[in-house]
């Protein structure tokens, strides 16, 4: 048996196994003896079928099974200990011709790099304290959500606060209805930003009016004729102590407590959002600061996981016209970034060697998972106890959480207000969009 290695990049290798029949003969002979005891054929007592006949009838299948077993053994015993592959190794080619075996694996190698000075890396963090004005706005939205739509009189004019029911029909270039392109009883909540174009054309009109409109850009636009069938306004709920109790599940006993409850919940939301966005930005900043290659097999593995997730989101089957290769290519940069973070995170865990996972950390994590999935804590603990791989995944998540906690003290933080943070994000997205 012979192993040969070709370096494709600093982190990608092709490893070829070459063997001939003399290398495989002991496995073949052992297999034939085994199957001779098991195979039954007419005219022969069990265990007495001639080996020559077994080779003639089943030789190809038996030998191919042993070849696969041999390749797996060489991979596990020779390649793994020597080259420590990362990512999902791919078998590129395998041939067995003229008693000669040749197998080529595409293997990923762990990249070699040093951590950059963390203090030199700047990460944005949004800082926001919820204001009383925001609380009032949220309460107003809650009152509207819990209210009822009330139909208005025929002569009532449509305002930006209305909901309208319309029949919409598409028009051709001559302004004539297009057969089969009619949407009846379509409800439009004009308070919603997604209905902004409709809102511009409908405000001021009344029930029974027929409105022609053009939606979209100047060049790429669609013409419609909309018949207004119903106009409704929101009769919002009344803010009372009873309403406060109901909306807070009893945590607030009166209106003042309800305002405090809303403010607390909003602050929790902003704090968690800031934490999540800091983590995202920290990963991006660290990935940009470290220049090293990612094994192609690892990139492919991550891209495949994106496809699997898309399949789960679509009920287990991808849409008919889903272009899997295009989808993976569009997410290639994201896959590279995720791969880089895996190695950077490993280095950070080595650097922050005082990270310790305590039993209370596991209990806290399981408690949060229990609340998130609506499953009793004891049931969640039992699940992890019965699934060692999931328990290890849990420990990995806790360890990574602690890495981010350490990072907050190690990197340079650039604190931004909510509006500053949003504007910067929008500018960055616009730049990325124009570049792509």
Q: φ and ψ at 267, to 5 degrees?
A: -65, -40
The pLDDT value recorded for residue 219 is 66
Measured between alpha carbons, how far is 386 from 381 in angstroms, rounded to an integer?
Answer: 9
From start to end of 111-161, where are the E strands? 122-126, 148-151
The model's pTM is 0.76
The per-residue pLDDT for 218 is 64
Residue 325, sorted as left (phi over 0), alpha (psi -120 to 50) or beta, turns out to be alpha
Tens-digit pLDDT profile for the chain (436 aa)?
Answer: 999 999 999 999 999 999 999 999 999 999 988 888 888 777 777 777 888 888 888 889 999 999 999 999 999 999 999 999 999 999 999 999 999 999 999 999 999 999 999 999 999 999 999 999 999 999 999 999 899 999 999 999 999 999 999 999 999 888 888 888 899 999 999 999 999 999 999 999 999 999 999 887 766 778 899 999 999 999 999 999 999 999 999 999 999 999 999 999 999 999 999 999 999 999 999 999 999 999 999 999 999 999 999 999 988 889 888 999 999 999 999 999 999 999 999 999 999 988 888 889 898 888 888 887 888 889 988 888 888 888 888 888 899 999 999 999 999 999 999 999 999 999 988 887 777 6
Residue 167: CB atoms within 10 A of its CB come to 15
pLDDT at 231 (0 to 100): 97
Q: Given this model, what pLDDT does residue 402 score?
A: 92
Domains and CATH numbers, the chain: 2-108 (3.30.70.1050), 148-235 (3.10.50.40), 264-435 (1.10.3120.10)
Spatial contact of 162 and 232, defined as CB atoms under 8 Å apart = yes
Whole-angstrom distance, CA of residue 93 vs CA of residue 18: 12
pLDDT at 198: 92
What's the Cα-to-Cα distance from 53 to each of 31, 44, 182, rounded to whole Å?
A: 14, 11, 73
Looking at residue 436, what is its pLDDT? 62
Q: CA distances (Å), 371 to each of 123, 359, 365, 379, in order?
A: 30, 19, 10, 12
HSE, CB side, 13 Å, CA atoms: give it for residue 416. Answer: 19
The three-class DSSP label of residue 210 is: strand
């Amino acid at each position: 048996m012979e192993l040969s290695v070709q370096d494709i990049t600093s982190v990608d290798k092709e490893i070829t196994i070459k063997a001939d029949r003399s290398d495989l003969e002991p496995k073949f002979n052992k297999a034939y003896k085994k199957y001779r005891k098991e195979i039954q054929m007419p005219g022969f007592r069990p265990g007495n079928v001639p080996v020559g006949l077994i080779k003639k009838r089943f030789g190809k299948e038996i030998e191919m099974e042993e070849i696969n077993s041999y390749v797996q053994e060489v991979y596990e015993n020779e390649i793994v200990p020597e080259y420590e592959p990362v990512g999902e190794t791919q078998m590129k080619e395998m041939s067995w011709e003229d008693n000669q075996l040749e197998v080529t694996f595409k293997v990923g190698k762990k990249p070699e790099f040093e951590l950059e000075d963390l203090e030199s890396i700047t990460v944005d963090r949004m800082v926001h304290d919820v204001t009383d004005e925001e609380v009032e706005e949220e309460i107003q939205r809650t009152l509207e959500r819990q209210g009822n739509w009330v139909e208005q009189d025929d002569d009532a004019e449509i305002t930006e606060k209305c909901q309208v029911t319309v029949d919409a029909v598409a028009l051709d270039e001559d302004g004539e209805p297009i057969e089969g392109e009619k949407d009846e009883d379509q409800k439009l909540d004009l308070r919603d930003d997604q209905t902004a174009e409709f809102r511009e054309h409908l405000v001021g009109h009344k029930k029974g009016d027929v409105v022609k409109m053009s939606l979209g850009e100047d060049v790429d636009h669609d013409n419609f004729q909309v018949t207004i069938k119903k106009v409704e306004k929101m009769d919002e709920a009344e803010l009372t102590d009873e309403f406060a109790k109901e909306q807070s599940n009893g945590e607030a006993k009166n209106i003042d407590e309800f305002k405090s409850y809303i403010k607390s919940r909003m602050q929790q939301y902003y704090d968690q959002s800031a934490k999540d966005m800091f983590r995202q930005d920290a990963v991006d900043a660290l990935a940009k600061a470290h220049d090293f290659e990612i094994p192609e097999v690892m990139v492919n593995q991550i891209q495949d996981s994106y496809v699997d997730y898309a399949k789960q989101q679509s009920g287990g089957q991808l849409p008919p016209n889903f272009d899997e290769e295009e989808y993976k290519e569009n997410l290639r940069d994201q896959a590279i970034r995720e791969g880089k973070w895996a190695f950077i995170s490993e280095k950070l865990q080595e650097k922050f060697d005082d990270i310790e996972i305590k039993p209370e950390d596991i209990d806290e994590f399981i408690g949060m998972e229990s609340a998130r999935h609506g499953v009793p804590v004891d049931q969640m603990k039992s699940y992890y106890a019965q699934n060692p791989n999931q328990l290890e995944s849990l420990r990995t998540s806790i360890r990574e959480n602690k890495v981010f906690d350490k990072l907050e003290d190690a990197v340079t933080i650039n604190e931004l207000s909510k509006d500053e943070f949003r504007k910067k994000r929008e500018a960055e997205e616009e730049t990325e969009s124009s570049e792509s």
